Amino acid sequence: DTAVSQTPKYLVTQMGNDKSIKCEQNLGHDTMYWYKQDSKKFLKIMFSYNNKELIINETVPNRFSPKSPDKAHLNLHINSLELGDSAVYFCASSQPGQGALGYGYTFGSGTRLTVV
């Protein structure tokens, strides 16, 4: 199936731990993103990568570090987890360019991170 897949779907961890979320897309898209959805369901971009190059970094704490080994993968590593990091994290991909932008994003199914 063509899709954006992210793992794990659920992650429960203690404060201070380090964790990673993985994302892979097989759509051939050049750009991948991480979005955070908070407890009020508000979605906000964290990072975007275009063909392994960081394009957008939206004032996210440096405990969050994205890594893109190739254009089909974008992982998110979080150090020293805090209670406030609890949220749903979505990976997404798109094909930028004037016309292709109109097709929007394809989202992964999200990772619910709970920090206890």
Which parts of this chain interact with other proteins (CB under 8 A)?
31, 33, 35, 40-45, 48, 50, 55-56, 88, 90, 92, 94, 96-98, 101-105, 107, 109-110, 112
Please say which residue, 42 or 70, places its beta carbon nearer to other proteins. 42
Cite the beta strand spans of 1-116 per DSSP E: 4-7, 10-13, 19-25, 31-37, 43-50, 53-57, 64-70, 73-78, 87-94, 106-107, 111-115
Provide the minimum distance between the beta carbon of 23 and other proteins in the complex, in angstroms, as a whole number.
14
Nearest-approach distance from CB 64 to other proteins, in angstroms:
17
Smaller CB separation from other proteins, 5 or 26:
5
CA angle 24, 110, 83 (to 5 degrees): 120
Of 5 and 17, which CB lies nearer to other proteins in the complex structure?
Answer: 5
48 vs 75, which CB is nearer to other proteins?
48
Beta 53-57 vs 43-50: how paired, if at all?
antiparallel
Q: For residue 91, give the amino acid letter.
A: C
CB of 16 to other proteins, least distance (A): 27
Q: How far is CA 54 from the centre of its chain?
A: 13
Nearest approach in angstroms of CB 102 to other proteins is: 5
